[in-house]
Structure 1
């Protein structure tokens, strides 16, 4: 029997979704770098502020750039994304973790659910990219966890609380014809998270300051919804013996949407869905008529 290799001597495992150069996971950094918000080439199309402990949904057209900003201080936001014209195609947090990473930043993408499986957006700017990895293994802009919700709050505290991120998102999408069943796992923007030595999820206070931003380019027409987390900057425990109402740590989040000069887009076009390549019969043989 071969001798077991101690953990500290093992080589790091290869990335599961490694790919050939020039493949679909490669991003043209020169192209997307030019799309980062620039007053000389971008025209502000819409601007608004989402108040504390609330949510809002909005549209971003294919080829536009959207920027989320911590305008007054640190604040975590829970982001959902759908195909504007087909909400069955929506962001897929789990596959994005695998194809990109568990915490995403500039030049990473958010991918959609199967059978569509294509990039919904490409990140073009992140002012917190330099945060890196802290002493506890925490990183920023999290796909590991998901939204707070009134169901887990009731289970852990025995109390009703209707301003969880899940509830904020539900209320935000109702005017767009969506329901609670359309709300899905989120991207936690401006949030620091990681896994501790016992492989358990932890959250830390957001490092964002006024003017920090997270920015993305819409690859297709999008419906976006953001909850300004009732937990504020997450510096106060939400559950457990040390928990208290963190309302004094809450700040609004700003949203800006920009039109991009057509010359910058060049020959860019929205990506095709995966179903155009794989006909999704899943091994089923169609009947043959004589």
Structure 2
């Protein structure tokens, strides 16, 4: 048996493996656990039997994620309120060109809270093909080897995914400066109580999702329409402002977002989705279990 230098491989492939796991699971903590499990298992593998370490590791990670998703589906079916992914802070990665492999992985498309929420509609196998192809740019031969299907089957799965997600699927990462400007106007309108200004920013089909997981106060159903979303947001502003929250801008999943903190502990994360300069989605993560890593 030829031993494998797992420490060197961990340094080289951790960013890629994290990107696969986080996009598939929507959980930072679960993604980290999957990485640890993968490299512990790798210590028992004969290095002489591995032709491509990248392919081998990606297959190990994908299979672990698929198994996890199958068990997690039942839990999410009984989840209280909308389920949103754990936010990932990406400061220093957005628009960077420093050459760090984590920067390359984290600045790809399909990392936003909106997109990760959208792919919850997919089956585990559909999600694997979508992430490997659309988010990470694997070719169909690599994907087929990773998920145990033929390249033709993988093409068919991706075609089905595109039909299923339809126009809701973002075609590219949002323009960073435009998104920051929209978020700034959003915060200003709420902070000043300017109802008309806020309504002008909200698309006719805007939806607000609030994830408290049954642990903290949050809307248990999505909120639709500009009028209802505005009323909900102004209600939050009155509550948060009265309780002395610290609010700051942060890069959340590759785009500008907002962090609400109280006594140094992040309490709420805001993220927006925009289309043609208007807000089509507001995503509010409040479940403490999903914020403990921040």
Do they superpose with TM above 0.5?
no
Q: Which has the higher contact order (CA 8 A, sep 6+)?
A: 1
Flag the structure with higher strand content.
1
The two structures have a TM-score, normalised by structure 2, of 0.29
The two structures have a TM-score, normalised by structure 1, of 0.29
